[in-house]
Amino acid sequence: MSMKTSTRQVDGVTIVDCSGRITLGEGSVVLKDTVRELLSKGQKKILLNLGDVTYIDSSGIGELVSAFTTVRNQGGELKLLNLTKKVHDLLQITKLYTVFDVKDDETAAVKSFN
Amino acid sequence: MTEHRVSYTLDSTLETVESAERSASELATEIGFDEDQVMQISMAVREAAINAVLHGNAYDPGKKVSLDFETTARDMIITIRDQGPGLDVSKIPDPLAPENLLKTSGRGIFLIRSFMDEVHIHPSKTGTEIKLVKHVGGPPAGGKEASQ
């Protein structure tokens, strides 16, 4: 299953609901394009909901890092929400769990931006 | 003793990456690895295939990727070869070093070593061969036996 995203606004925060696989090729491109489009519209508080992401490879990890630094460099914030065990474990072994601000409650995550 | 061996010669395309991952997942499941181990094996094979297609052969339509699956009573062994210029492992920076944490690439070999029980990398001027071994019923992976 390829990656799909849909966005919604909650209290000034853009929540991006992601599903499928963030992998080399289409999945990474979808994530990149989504974040780029949000930034172009001035939406710089971004919460990536990865609850329905089934798989991430090294390219997908790289794209998450790229999204994180791109948003931060433009004065925004990008946080992660609802990691599956697989994604959680991947971020742990790559030591990225401490780099990303990871949340497991959407309401609290939205409030944390303000 | 080799119980089963199957070999593929594949194009340097993204489809090869997907196909390698899918085949690894199916075979690992058939052998009886648990869900986490199947994920580890399929991801390691995917990363090795990405290295071969993208970094080794650079999507060159004239270059092929060979993929061998071998199963014995003790091991699942996957060998992936490309026809690239040869991977210089010494030039791959440590992705866990603080200065590299925010790099957007360079984690593939690290993930392979993390997920498999043995990793043997043999670069040459005519390509790179990566042999991945997962012990059947063996200790959890963590790259403890990893070698080059």
ipTM exceeding cut-off 0.85 for this assembly = yes
Give this prediction's pTM: 0.90
Nearest to B102 among A25, A69, A93 (CB): A69
Q: Does residue B141 belong to any structural domain of this protein?
A: no
Q: What CATH number does residue B34 fall under?
A: 3.30.565.10
Overall average pLDDT of the B61-77 stretch: 96
Nearest to B50 among A24, A66, A90 (CB): A24
* CA nearest to A64 within chain B: B104
Most A CBs within 10 A among B40, B107, B115, B116, hence the mutation to make, goes to B107
Task: Give the domain range for residue A35.
Answer: 4-111
Q: Which residues, other chains included, contact A57 with Cβ-Cβ below 8 Å and sequence gap of 6+?
A: A21, A22, A23, A24, B43, B46, B47, B50
Q: Does residue B144 belong to any structural domain of this protein?
A: no
> Model confidence over B25-53: pLDDT tens digits?
999 999 999 999 999 999 999 999 999 99
- Phi, psi dihedrals of residue A11, rounded to the nearest 5°: 50, 45
Q: Does residue B42 belong to any structural domain of this protein?
A: yes
Query: What is the reported pLDDT for B2?
Result: 57
| pLDDT tens digits in sequence order for chain A, 114 residues long | 678 999 999 999 999 999 999 999 887 899 999 999 999 999 999 999 999 999 999 999 999 999 999 999 999 999 999 999 999 999 999 999 999 999 999 999 999 997
- Residues A54 and A83: beta-carbon distance below 8 Å: no
* Distance in angstroms (rounded) separating the CA atoms of residues B86 and B57: 10
Q: What are the angstrom distances between the C-alpha of B95 and each of A61, A109, B41, B75, B126?
A: 12, 28, 20, 28, 27
The number of distinct structural domains making up chain B is 1
Six token digits for residue B146:
């990893």
Q: Which helix (H) or strand (E) holds A85?
A: helix A85-93
Query: What is the reported pLDDT for A13?
Result: 97
Q: Does residue B120 belong to any structural domain of this protein?
A: yes
The number of distinct structural domains making up chain A is 1
Length of chain B: 148
Q: What CATH number does residue A21 fall under?
A: 3.30.750.24
Are A57 and B43 an interchain contact pair (Cβ–Cβ within 8 Å)? yes
> 3-state DSSP call for residue B37?
helix
Most A CBs within 10 A among B104, B111, B112, hence the mutation to make, goes to B104
Overall average pLDDT of the B77-94 stretch: 93
Query: What is the reported pLDDT for B125?
Result: 87
In angstroms, the separation between the Cα of residue B3 and the nearest Cα of chain A is: 30
Query: What is the reported pLDDT for B148?
Result: 42
Query: What is the reported pLDDT for A49?
Result: 98
